[in-house]
Structure 1
């Protein structure tokens, strides 16, 4: 699997314009905005609305949780609790969905 790093929302937009991604791991605190707002943007974009999103934050606030839920974010995880099991769970679910569609 290829991993692409985007240090800002603008860089993420550019990376996403290059094609579909299997998963988006999104920090809520980015230099040019909030990941929760970007997750809402992605949810409204037909090209990316079905892409699974995991959001990480040092200080998850109630407003961030609400936006993440509205955007269909699969997991909101405190950075200190984040590990590979979240990525594994999302990728397994994504593969299962693809099998059902095909």
Structure 2
């Protein structure tokens, strides 16, 4: 994957999001399903799933930036994964709005 291509797509998407939503996106949920398992990329195995938290993930990214600088590419996996969780939370909010619970009947 070409990094400049990823950057261009991320920049375009965030610019479009700001155009439609302004400088903040309201997230109606703080928890999400997270996959932190090497089996995530093995479609023949079911990965372990855990619960993540939007507010905590934002905090990790804010506080730990210096920790990852200069550490090399392998150390960047965690913050990239955290960012992907936040982007997935934004996507879920935009696509579905407030989460429905299995006991809700519509």
TM above 0.5? no
Q: Kindly name which structure, 1 or 2, has the bigger radius of gyration based on alpha carbons.
A: 2
The structure whose residues are more often strand, as a share, is: 1
The structure whose residues are more often helix, as a share, is: 2
Using the size of structure 2 for normalisation, the TM-score is: 0.30
